[in-house]
Structures are given as C-alpha cells and as structure tokens.
Structure 1
Amino acid sequence: MATAPAASLSATGSEDRSFLGHPKGLAYLAFTEAWERLSFYGMSGLLLLYMIQRLLTPEVADGVLGFDRLRAGIEALTGPLSDQAFASQVFSLYSGLVYFTPVFGGLLADRLLGQRRAVVLGALLMVAGHGLMAFDASFLIALSLLIAGTGCLKGNISVQVGHLYQPDDEGRRTRAFAIFYGAINTGALLGPLVCGILAQVYGWHVGFGAAGALMLVALITYCTGWKHLPPDRKRQRGTVSSAPLTARDWRVIAALLFLSAIGILPCAAYYQEMNAGLLLIEASVDRGLFGWTIPTPSFNALDGLFCILAVPLLVSLWHRQAKHGREPGDIRKITIGYLIISGANLLMVIPAGWADNGATLGPIWPVMLYALNALGFIFYWPTLLALFSRAAPAQVNSTMMGVLFLSIFLGNLLVGTLAGLWETLSHASFFALHAALAFGAVLVMLLVARPVERLLAHPS
C-alpha cells in the first residue's frame, strides 16, 4: 500500500505533544473546524424558516434569481408543493449536497491543489457564500458557493488530522479524531444559538452575516497555524503519490468502500433521531419545564452536547487502555459504536409502544436516545475517519475521505425514505427496524473483522 514517507510525516511534528498530548497542528485544525461548524450550523439553523417566512413571500420570491426555475424542476419530480414543502425540499437538497461534494474536493486536492490549498479555497468560497446570503436575490448563488466550499474543505481538513501521525500510530490518531469531533460538536451546539438570537433580535441578514464572520475567523485560524499543518500530498512526478496503484492498493480501496457502504445502515439509525425522533417528541413527550414548554427542535441540541461530553470520556478510556495494551483496534471500536446505536434504538421500542397506546412519555426517554446515539457515534465515526486517513493509498487519500462522507449523504437519503414508514408502522416497530439495521451492520463487521484488519494493517 502506498503511504507517505516517514520523513514527511515527522516534518509535521508528529512527536510534538504540546496540545493535550497531540501535535500543535491538531489544535489549529480543531479550532478551524469549530469556527467553521459554528458558521455552518448557525446558517443552517436559520435557513428553513428564512425561506418560509421571508424568501417565499410574494413580494420577495420573484426577485430571487433562478428560484422559479428551481421550483419548476423540483415540482416536475414531486408534483405541486406548498411553500413549506418546497422550502423543506430545498433545505434537504442543500443538506445532502454538502456531504456529496467532498468526493470532488478530494479529487481536486489529490490531483491538483493539495489539501491545504483546497481547504483555503473552500473557506474562501464559504465566506463569499455567507456574504451573498445578505441579499435575497443571490440566495441560490450563495447556497451553490457554500456547497462547493464545503466540498473543498470538509474532507480535506479531516485528512490533515490523520497526516499529523505516523502510519502505525493508530491509537493516537483515533483519539485525535475524537478530539477533532468534540470541536465540531461544540460548533454544532453553539452555532444555532448565536446566529438564531442575532437573527431574532436584529433580522435574518444579521444572523447570516454573523455566520460569515465566523467563517472568516475559521480561515484566519487555519492560516495562522499554516507552519504546523502537515505537508500537502498530491500527485507529482517522483513522489509516492504519483506511483501507479498496486493490486494491494485496489484491495484496500475495495475494503474501504465496503466499510463505508456498511456504515450507511447505522448512520441512518443514528440520524433518524433528528427526523422521526422529533415527531415522537412533538406528539408524545411531555416537554414542560418549570411552566415553560421546550420547543421540539431544541432537543437536537442534545446531540451536540452529548457528543462533546463523550469525547473526554472515550479519549481518557482509550488512553488508559493503551497504557495496558488493551485499547481496541479501529474495527472493534467501529463495531462497538454500531452496537451502541442499535441498543439506543432498541431501548426506544419500550416507550414507543406506550406512545402507540396513547401514553405521554417523560423527557428522559429522548434524552437517553440522544445520549446513547452520541456515544455510539463518537465510537465509530472519528474512528472511521482515522482509519481512512491512515489506510487509503496516498494517490487517492483525500478522494477516499470524500467517499466516506458520501456515506452520510446516502445515510440521510435512507433516513428520509424510512421516515415515510412512520405513519404506516407502529412506533415500536419503527424503532425496532432501526435497531435491526444497526445490528445488521454489527454482524457484518464481526464476520469481516479479521480479514479486513489484516488487509488494512500498516505493512512492515
């Protein structure tokens, strides 16, 4: 398997332990991603309501460039849509495409720009996109720039986290990705709060402007840490990245594609909490708190909160296990994560059955669902990122990271398809189905664990 030479890795400071026992470059990458996610989730939290409450009003809609053509194209596939349904379609399309375009961002980095320049390009596109959100007319242009920018940035910055470490430093790399995802979820938690409050007090465009300012801070943070970032890996003559793919490389690529495909099932089980899970909360959960009713969408903040809390717990656990030689390998961690997500959905079969009979549920049930799902997610997703960054051949390293993000895109499509069963299945059966999907991934991982581990092990 083609890998970067050790010399280039050591040049990044892989033995540096100045940031929580990790290279200083991890700090710059994590804080860059935290600011970027603050921006992304802050803007996304406003998007749907902005379309419904302002953009689709008669006096505004006609002035939005390309809006009528987009609506005609979507309705040609779906039939006539209400304004709310059309806004939901646009929001879903945007949310899906930001996980589809990293494949192309990875290709751009591998073949032309390298990871660092691709990240800078992505950040600049996103700053421009947020800036154009200040004007109603440029709404679709802004979304297009944000989608393209995320495609350039998302996978390539994740690849760089893995490049901070020697290929055989599996444990530290996985813990680094857990820290990295703690930063991401900090942004996911705070972004909607910051931009939402500003939009409510000062207007939509101030909220969008705040998202743009946060993205600019992310770009400045990234450039400030430039000298601590790993060197670019792209195809150049005379380098490992320009060598033809070997038979082993192709087997590794096939194994990684297989792992990303299997990950679609637990991904759907995990993200369903933000779709049908909210429907259960809205209809059947007592949301009263000291005389105030908690808004149903606010429960989604629990995901970011519990992901943040899970990171130090798991990093500490894995560090202690590593000291005694008992830290699970990447495949085992991924399998454990899938099992936890299966258990989270299986647990919900009990209260969902009560809800089927008209009972009102206590808020402890969705809290437990979000907590267990977050724990499972931190077990498996950062580990998958670490595995792909280490094992994917150097010639297609960023591209394969983009492929992994594509599994989230496909998982979210499956979420929407399965959500259509909410009104036809009993709620208990609905959660049992999702538990079965995630457990099916567990069984597959158990079957393939040994051969995949041998194939993806760093060759001596």
Structure 2
Amino acid sequence: MSDTTEEMYKGSQERNLMGHPIGLSICFLTEMWERFSYYGMRAILILYLTKYHLFGADKANMIYGAYMGMVYMMPIIGGYMADRYLGSRKAVTYGAILLVAGHGLMGFHGPAAYMDGDIVVRDEFYINIFFLSLALIITGVGFLKANISTVVGALYGPNDPRRDGGFSIFYMGINLGSLFSMGLVGYVGETYGWNYGFSIAGIGMFFGLCVFLWGQKYLDGRGDPANPEVLKEKSPIGLNKENTIYLFGMGLVAASYIMMKYDELVIQFVGISGLIMVSIILFYSFSQCEKEDRERLWVALILIAVQSVFWALFEQQGASLTLLTDQQFNLTFLGITFKASQVQLLNALFIVMLAPVMAWLWLALAKRNLEPSTPAKFGYALLIIGAGFIIFSWALTLDDTSNKDFIWLVFIYLMVTLAELFLSPVGLSMVTKLSVPKIVGMMMGTWFLFTALGSNLAGVISSLMGSGEHGAAAGTLDMAATVELYTMIGVFSAGVGLFILLLAPIMKKWMHGVH
C-alpha cells in the first residue's frame, strides 16, 4: 500500500468485506430490520386506529401526527446522551431493546371496540397498553436512529474516499427494510389480524437486535464511549451514570406516554421549542459571528424552517392518503390487487428506482456547471410536491365513485418521491456545511425539531378531513374537505417553493462558496 493510499485510509476499520469496513454489514442489517419494524407498523397504524379501535379520522390522525412528531424529535436527546456519555454502540443497543419491547406489546391489543348505541366502547386498559407501546417505540427510535449512523461514520477515517459510498449502501438498507415491511406487514395485518402484522414488525426488530449484539466483534470498538470511566462514576441518585441514563430513558418513555395520550400537547411543545431554538441561533449569529458565518447560518435557518412544509405533505402517506386509498380507490393495478397499507411501498420502490438516476443527473449537471444550488433544490422539492397535491386533488373530483383509478395513486407517490430526492439527501449535509462548528449539534437538533413539527402538522391537517361520523364509519374522510385541504396545502407548498427559488440567488451568495 502506497503512502498516499495509507494516508487516505488512516483511521478506518482495517477489516474489510467487499471493499468496505466489515462493520458496515452489521450496521446495514441492523438498520434494515429496524426500518422493517418501523415502516411496517407505520403502514397499518392509521387503519388499525380507525378500523379496530373505531377512532374518528380526526382523532386517529392526531395520534398519528403526534407519534411521527415525537419519533423525529426524540433522536435529539438520544444523540446527546450518546455523544456525551454512552457512545453510539451502547445507545443503539438500548434503543433496540426498547423497540423490541414496544413492538412486542403492539401484538397484545385486547378486544376490538364496538358500538353501544351512539357510544364507542373501548377497553381502556388495552388503549393504555397501546400508548405505552408507542412510547417505547418513540424512545427506542430516539436512542437508535441517529446513533446507528454515527457508528457507520466511525468505521471510516476522515479522508476515506469510501465514506459516501458506504452511506449510500447503508441508505439502501433503509429502503430495503421499508419496501419488504410494507408489503408483508400490511398484507398480514389487513388479512389475518392487526396483532399478527404488529407481531411480524416486532420479530423484525428482534432480528435487528440479535444481529447487532452478535456483530459486536465485527465493529472493533467503533462507537464506544469516548470516556468509559465516566459511566462508572456515581450520579446524584446513587447509581452509576450508565444505569442512570437507562433509568432516564424510562423517564422519557413515561413522558412520551403522556404526550401520546394528550396528543394536542405535542404540536405546542414542538412549535414553542422550534421558536426558542431559532431565536437562540439568530441571537448567536448577531452576537458571535462574522458576516460570512452569520449569513450562512441565516441560509441554514431558512431551509430548516421551510422543510417542515415538505414533511407536512410527505407524511400524508401514512395518514389521510392511506385512508383515502382504502376508501376511494380501486386497488387492482396491472392484475395485482393491493391492500391499502401496501400502496405505501410505492415510495420506497420509486426511491430504489430513481435515486441512482438522480445521482447521475446531479453529476452530469455539475460537470456542465448547471447543478441547482442547495436552496434551489429545496425550492424545486416544495414546488414538485405542491404541484403533485394540486393535480391529485383535481383528479379526485373527476370520479365521484369509490372506485377511482389506481394510476392517480402512482402519480402522487411519484411526485412525493421526486420531491424527497430533491430535499432529503442534501438536508442534513447542508446543515453540517453551513453551521458554525461550535453550534453544529444545536443546528442538527433544530433540523429535527422542524422535521418533527412538519410531521406533527401532517396529522393536524389530516384530522381536518374527518367526516365526524361514529362507529363503523369512524375513519371515513369527508371528500369535499379532503379535496379542499389537499388543494390548499398544495398551493401553499408550491408558493413557498417559488418564493425560495426567487431567493435562491441571494441565498447562494450568502453561502459564500459552500456548495
């Protein structure tokens, strides 16, 4: 190995498999199974709430939105605990254990709700078990999601040219997990029983935990605590700090349980937290930064804020769009009859198909100096997803039956995926590049806060589409309200996208050479 090559690979894991650090295969399989469980449960959650527990579309969508918001917000705390104390490997293990427990509990859901006159009768004990299950999953994702990526990064030295390729392989694991789960969990849940679907998701997460524990020997200590001795120190409550953090995790489960039970608290908490973080960063930019760093922070803040609009539309997939698919569309396409929850796999399928094409396109445009700037990509993303919802809402008015053409579902998922490919892959990279090193962690936390806000807003928007009917029709969408709201959010997103495109030249100038 030449000196130049040796310098490039300095700091990387020495053991390799198929050209990459051997630990990548363990992280790939762990994340694949975690996403299998997560997306499988997400695929059937809204249908389970409306068809089994007979929640109205309004309440079911609020629960869904609160859950998605908390899932995106909790990695801020889990990431901090890993960075400061636990290390990524222990955090991932703890998160995986919580996820197995949460998904396992989802398989025990008690008797179905029923109507007694005009009153819905539910078993409150099992409803509380359901909320506890969600709380365990939320906290588990918080400890696992951000930190498994950190373990991947730790496998590569700072100058290793394989890093981007490694993360691309890792990202493929996410999409494979989601693709398989939405096909399998959705089918089993809707055909044989919701508890069987949830159980399969739980088994998937158990496989992920087993893979990660078994594969520790292949990680060579990557992701271990920076200072293991600190974990052995006594905390104020008498336990060592490591066990205190695990106990704190149980406190997060309790807090998540309360937030899920009183879902209206989530959007208030996330919204206020987001405003506080923006205010702190703006104050920092004026008081601590020179002109170039200040303007870069402003660009990052603008893009962080507008991405919440994207997620508010994107997360309609698991909320109103799934209910709409179930109630209004002919689900036979190309000779195949789908379950409503399985249609969500179109997003993962289009990602797998289009991601390589988009990667080639950006490279080809870059060679001709035609690649859009990061702000322009955000603008195009909001314009594409907004236009998709405007056209889709118009298409809903073309057929007043409940047998609408499946091709329109293909269309909206294609538009959603195209928008995702413009925004999502560059988002986190943008934050790290434009942030001042001293506050990059705070900026990443703010990104996740606004992702959480958008996801929570998705549930709030979907809740406004309910018909207010009870019992068997509890999840029925009001089509007039749905068409109106889809048009409104589409126009708003497209308008914000156009505004960002107009600002893009100024924002590109404020980036001061950062691409």
Same fold (TM over 0.5): yes
What is the aligned counterpart of 1:145 among 120, 136, 141?
136
Contact 2:303/2:378 (CA < 8 Å) preserved in 1?
A: no
- Secondary structure (helix, strand or coil) at the match of 1:286 reads coil
Q: Which residue, 104, 112, 117 being the options, matches 2:85?
A: 112
Pairing 1:5-404 to 2, within 5 Å after superposition = 11-12=11-12, 28-45=26-43, 47=45, 90-133=63-106, 139-158=130-149, 173=164, 180-196=170-186, 207-222=197-212, 224=215, 226-227=219-220, 247=289, 255-278=299-322, 280-282=324-326, 284-288=328-332, 294-322=338-366, 327-355=371-399, 361-394=404-437, 396-398=439-441, 400-404=443-447
Q: TM-score, normalised by structure 1?
A: 0.71
Letter in 2 for 1:218: G
Does residue 1:418 correspond to 2:461, yes or no?
yes
Letter in 1 for 2:201: A
What amino acid sits opposite 1:419 in the alignment? S
Deviations along 1:76-114, one digit per CA (max 9) or x if unpaired, are xxxxx9588766655544333212212222332343334
- The farther-off stretch of 36-45 and 123-132 is 123-132
- CA-CA distance at 1:337 after TM superposition: 2.4
- More displaced, 272-281 or 22-31? 22-31
Q: Which of 408, 414, 429 is matched with 2:451 structurally? A: 408
5+ residue gaps, structure 2: 1-6, 110-125, 231-283, 466-477
Partner Cα distance (1:313, 1:385) in 2: 21
| TM-fit CA distance, 1:367 | 0.8
In 1, are the aligned partners of 2:76 and 2:142 still within 8 Å (CA)?
A: yes
Contact 1:158 1:385 in 2 (8 A): no
In 2, the alpha carbon distance for the partners of 1:387 and 1:263 equals: 12
What is the identity, as a one-letter code, of the residue corresponding to 2:453?
L
Q: Deviations over 1:185-224 (max 9, x none)?
A: 3222222443456667987666545433422433454563
| Offset at residue 374 of structure 1 (A) | 0.8
- Deviation by residue 1:99-143 (Cα, 9 ceiling, x = unmatched): 221222233234333444433332232233334445567554443
Rate the CA distance shift 1:291–1:134 in 2: closer, same or farther, 3 A. Answer: closer
Verify the 8 A CA contact 1:337 1:376 in the aligned structure 2. Answer: yes
Give the AA of the match of 1:434. Answer: I
| Identity across matched positions, percent | 30
Question: How far apart, in 2, do the equivalents of 1:97 and 1:368 lie?
Answer: 29
1:432 match? 487
| C-alpha contact (below 8 Å) 2:36/2:177 kept by paired residues | yes
Q: Is contact 1:105–1:402 with CA below 8 Å preserved after alignment?
A: no
Distance 2:194 2:313 in 1: 33
Alpha-carbon displacement from aligned partner over 1:123-167 (angstroms, at most 9, x marks no partner): 232233334445567554443222111112223334566777899
Which consecutive residues of structure 1, in runs of 5 or more, have no partner in the other structure?
1-6, 57-80, 238-243
Kindly tell me the number of residue pairs found equivalent between the two proteins.
417
Change (3 A) 1:260 1:298: same
Confirm or deny: 8 A CA contact 1:388 1:400 kept in the other structure: yes
SS at match of 1:123: helix
